[in-house]
Amino acid sequence: MANILDKIFAAKKVELGTTRREVPLAEIKNKIGDQRDVVSIMDALKVSGEGSKIIAEIKRRTPFKGDLVEQFDPLAIARTYADSGAVAISILTESRFFGGDLKYVEQASKAVSIPLLRKDFIFDAYQVYESRACGADFFLLIATSLDKNQLKDLLELGQEIGLTALVETHNEKDMEKAFHAGAGLLGINNRDLTSGKTDLEISRRLLKETRGMDNLLLVCESGIDRRAQIEEFEGLGMHAFLIGESLMKAPNISDKLQEFTGHGKIQPAG
């Protein structure tokens, strides 16, 4: 029986077939020249003394929890994130299950100067070029759903056109794929994408696999909702935190983001 992750990728493959017919790859490549210069996420994460590094996510809904925000204005949210201390912005572009759109990246790239992550279910070279053509500075690769050679090929294609891949892992097998691919930016996702369950023990466990790998920049994904958790994982070696739901559902996004960076007051739980 197919799980939700399998369903999303299956739908993406059908969608990509339509997109290819409507917008040929040559047209996508031509559009790349119209975009701003790539803003390096690796450089942004290496800057010291600016508080905790938060990759703040724009996410309208999830297949697990439905709509996360009533008044959804992605451009306004992007500006709030940039003004409130985010080191980068993650933007969901998958439409059917997450309510995303590539145009959100295009709009944000013209409005903010920090790096933008195109977060989607990427498995084809066309999507990598598409990421650059919409103004993204880095893109997501989910190790669970790619074989090790696919992962390596897509990561290297990204490098060729100036994009860093955030390689998302969820278990030890994923970590092996990421190491084989030569990932420099490694995400550890605490959410099981097949069930939606979140468990921070995943990061605590998988961080042990990265000991001695000083060349890696590590991103904790999902399940972070308190400043204390960020402080704990920074102590364990995490460099950055990708946070979506806690920000999207916050009564005041700016205040919550500043709390996460360490520059604001601790907000009451709930």
Could you list the active site residues? 57, 59, 119, 168, 189, 221-222
CB atoms within 10 A of CB 86: 26
What's the rounded Cα separation, in Å, for the pair 140 and 131?
Answer: 10
First-residue to last-residue Cα distance in the chain: 36
Q: Which of 230, 178, 225, 164 is nearest to 206 (CA)?
A: 178
What's the rounded Cα separation, in Å, for the pair 217 and 238?
Answer: 8
What's the rounded Cα separation, in Å, for the pair 115 and 241?
Answer: 14
Size (the chain), residues: 270
CA distances from 225 to 4, 132, 169, 234, 237 (A): 24, 31, 20, 15, 18
What's the rounded Cα separation, in Å, for the pair 245 and 92?
Answer: 12
Question: Do 246 and 224 meet the contact criterion of CB atoms below 8 Å apart?
Answer: yes
CA distances from 198 to 65, 177, 210, 250, 261 (A): 13, 22, 21, 19, 22
| Tokens standing for residue 256 | 């919550």
